[in-house]
């Protein structure tokens, strides 16, 4: 006489006594666990920035250089437009300062003292003018006329607050240092003629900004 072994009869339902036992595992699948679903695709275009699009992610100050460090950034401002913008701003501030300082001194003249006093007043007024304009819109009057603007290299934003004021200070204040001030100023403004890939002057590097064209 044979003895029927429970759990081996393939003709009985699994929940009946002696029925074939189901394989163990999550969900009861004989093939094991199913593979996990694929991750969702990244958002088309990537994050948006004031530069437009999502290709540019900040260069050396935000993320590493890509294959194209200028991808997604507006065209860099030409050196000629940058120079013309500086000349316009210098005349806009320099002419009134010269007139006011001359009237304030009256008939007293000391060539060396007059020059330093005029330079000091001009530097202070220019620093305040540029700092305010950059933190509000990234443009001085000269830059507006030349259709260029200052932008943060990391994301293209207006250099609000410390970056705008720091950029203006690095450009203006060294002029107050006798002899060496002019040398630093000259190297500073010429630095963009050989700097790559962003054509930055030293005050741009200090504030982490670039100068770009405006559409």
In a domain, 126, yes or no: yes
pLDDT score of 117: 82
Which residues have C-beta within 8 Å of that of residue 125, sequence separation ≥ 6?
93, 97
- What are the angstrom distances between the C-alpha of 74 and each of 16, 66, 214? 74, 16, 8
Place of tokens 């007043």: 121
- Mean pLDDT value across the chain: 79
Backbone angles phi, psi at 62, to 5 degrees: -120, -60
Percent of the chain with pLDDT over 70: 64
Give the domain range for residue 100: 79-213
In a domain, 59, yes or no: no
Q: What is the dihedral of CA 53, 54, 56, 61, to 10 degrees?
A: 130
Q: What is the pLDDT of residues 12-33, one digit of tens each?
A: 555 555 555 555 545 545 555 6
What is the count of structural domains for the chain? 1
Cβ atoms 175, 185 nearer than 8 A: yes
Q: What is the pLDDT of residues 1-12, one digit of tens each?
A: 545 555 555 555
How far apart (Å, rounded) are the C-alpha atoms in residues 57 and 64? Answer: 8
In a domain, 108, yes or no: yes
Q: What is the pLDDT of residues 153-194, one digit of tens each?
A: 999 999 999 999 999 999 999 988 888 888 999 999 999 999
In a domain, 13, yes or no: no
Q: What is the pLDDT of residues 61-72, one digit of tens each?
A: 444 445 577 888
């Amino acid at each position: 006489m044979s003895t029927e072994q429970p759990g081996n009869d393939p003709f009985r339902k699994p929940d009946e006594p002696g029925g074939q036992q189901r394989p163990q595992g999550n969900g009861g699948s004989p093939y094991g666990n199913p593979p996990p679903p694929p991750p969702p695709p990244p958002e088309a275009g990537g994050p948006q920035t004031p530069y437009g699009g999502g290709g540019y992610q900040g260069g050396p100050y935000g993320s590493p250089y890509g294959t194209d460090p200028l991808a997604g950034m507006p065209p860099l401002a030409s050196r000629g437009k940058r120079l013309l913008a500086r000349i316009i701003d210098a005349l806009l501030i320099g002419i009134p300062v010269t007139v006011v300082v001359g009237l304030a001194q009256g008939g007293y003249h000391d060539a060396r003292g007059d020059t330093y006093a005029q330079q000091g007043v001009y530097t202070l007024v220019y620093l305040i003018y540029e700092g305010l304009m950059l933190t509000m819109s990234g443009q001085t009057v000269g830059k507006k006329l030349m259709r260029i603007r200052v932008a943060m290299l990391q994301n293209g934003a207006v250099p609000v607050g410390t970056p705008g004021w720091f950029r203006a200070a690095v450009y203006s204040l060294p002029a107050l240092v006798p002899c060496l001030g002019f040398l630093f100023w000259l190297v500073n403004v010429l630095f963009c003629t050989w700097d790559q890939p962003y054509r930055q002057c030293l005050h741009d590097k200090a504030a982490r900004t670039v100068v770009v064209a405006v559409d």
